[in-house]
Amino acid sequence: MRRTGKNHWHDEPGFLGKLPGAVYVGAGICLIGTAMLVGWNQGNDDAEITTTAAVTTTPAPQTSQEPLLANLFATNTKAVAKPAANSSTSKAKPVERASAEELIAQISASAPVEAEERAPLLWETLKVKSGDSFSSLMERAGFSTQAWYEVVNLGSSTKALTQLRVGDSLKVVKDEDRVAALDYQLNVENTLQVRRENGTLVVKTHNTPIERRTVSAVGTIESAFYSAAQKAKLPDNIIMELADLFAWDINFALDIRYGDSFSVLYEEKYQNDKKIGTGNILAAEFVNKGKSYRTVRYSDANGKTNYYTPDGRSMRRAFLRSPVHFTRISSRFNPNRLHPIFKTKRPHRGVDYAAPRGTPIMSSGDGVITFAGTKTGYGKTVIIKHGERYSTLYAHMNSLGKGMRRGKRVKQGQTIGTVGSTGWATGPHLHYEFRVDGAHRNPLTVKLPLAEPIKSRFRADFEAHAAPMMAWLDALSQTQVALNQQ
Ligand SMILES: [Zn+2]
């Protein structure tokens, strides 16, 4: 294995290729605190922090999905929804055919044997184009005026058909110029179904529930976290969430070591036995340099969901360490920065993050905007006050986010603007300042206060929820030890 420079786990080419703007390598620093000079040597600030892609040639670590445990979870966990009620649609056949069969099965639910003998219905798909209404769509498809009128008159449940959007599609079966059957997908789980039964149209909403199955994965790191996570067959979004969960405790660029390991319980979403995506991480463990970090997802009775340590402390801090994703630092906090030419003190009281123009900038914590506008040198700028002691500043924005003005409340992670180069800047970057009691602090090293712990009135419920999750993490870590000994 060749270690090259700063070894960001997310810098591996295979991963980066999937991220918008990830290939950006431009430089941008600000001239705040310096004189605006032609010929400014921006390379001085960048010399030691050039990132390079991690090159790994080591074989991937031993990892495993654990189906046995997954089955165990599926029967025990509250988080797993009941299996889909309608299993008749789960046959692996082309969609159109399956729908027709489903239709026949439903129309003649009382006589399923007879249904097998009927001819399959001919479904047509009608795409909603710009300017279409339900009536114009139906007319274009050769239905009579009476046909769509008959459908609309079925009652309030067909109201959705009068609010079609461009890109929607309807599936219809024609009986001459009238409707024999019509399907319209209302949302992921529900389809509006119109059927002609004994000469009259009837309408109902067909529900195809999303089932959440809990699955687990374990992995041991030999070279990079990302390759170990891939080997464990974790989807990219789960890999990123997992890293985000522990990002407050573990610096994934610097702290990862050979032999570090992780275990994760997460949800997969299924519809009709078909996987349609992933859900949430329910619990996870990361062992870094021999120290175990664990977290569990918990929703309290007020509907507030967060990740906590097993003893109920928040996993996150009141502030994000960095208000932009997937960027690199192009100039560090330096109260004694010497001007490269004048050799006088020109302090840099923030951190510069080089990023492509338009990259979203997030509020690093919950707070209230106290300034949103243009400041000399800083360009388009937002200042946010977080409680009594803290404030943050975001400068050189290309544009302020919609509605971002003085007095506006913002949440941690909320987009407040985009990266640009307004004011004194050599290229697009975010200049970020962090103040405690009015004094500038280094945003990269300042001790960040913890976010709110579990509320005392939810403590008992939280513990009841967390205990089985921790037992599963115990079981997973034993599995992992066994695997590593093989
Ligand atoms: Zn700066």
CA–centroid distance, residue 87 to ligand 1 (Å): 59
Mean pLDDT value of segment 125-142? 91
- Quick check: is 187 in a domain? yes
- Quick check: is 191 in a domain? yes
Burial classification of residue 439, based on how many CB atoms lie within 10 Å of its CB (0-12 exposed, 13-18 middle, 19 or more buried): exposed
State the average pLDDT for the chain: 77
How much is the pTM? 0.57
3-state helix vs strand vs coil in the chain, percent to 5: 25, 30, 45
pLDDT bracket for residue 83 (50, 70, 90): very low
- Quick check: is 183 in a domain? yes
CA–centroid distance, residue 15 to ligand 1 (Å): 29
- Quick check: is 232 in a domain? no
pLDDT at residue 365, rounded to an integer: 94
Mean pLDDT value of segment 382-411? 96
- Quick check: is 333 in a domain? no
- Quick check: is 114 in a domain? no
Question: Residues 50-79: pLDDT tens digits?
Answer: 223 333 333 333 333 333 333 323 333 333
**DSSP secondary structure, 271-320, as one string:** ETTEEEEEEEEEEEEEEETTEEEEEEEEE-TTS-EEEE-TTS-BSSBSS-
Does 85 have pLDDT greater than 50?
A: no
Task: In whole angstroms, give the CA distance from residue 272 to residue 267.
Answer: 16
Number of domains the chain is built from: 1
Q: What CATH number is associated with residue 176? A: 3.10.450.350
- Quick check: is 127 in a domain? yes
CA–centroid distance, residue 333 to ligand 1 (Å): 8
CA–centroid distance, residue 410 to ligand 1 (Å): 23
Question: Residues 221-257: pLDDT tens digits?
Answer: 998 899 999 999 999 999 989 988 998 888 787 788 9
Best CA proximity match to 334, nearest among 355, 348, 319, 316: 348
> Which residue segment(s) compose the domain that 146 sits in?
122-207
- Quick check: is 428 in a domain? no
CA–centroid distance, residue 24 to ligand 1 (Å): 19
CA–centroid distance, residue 431 to ligand 1 (Å): 4
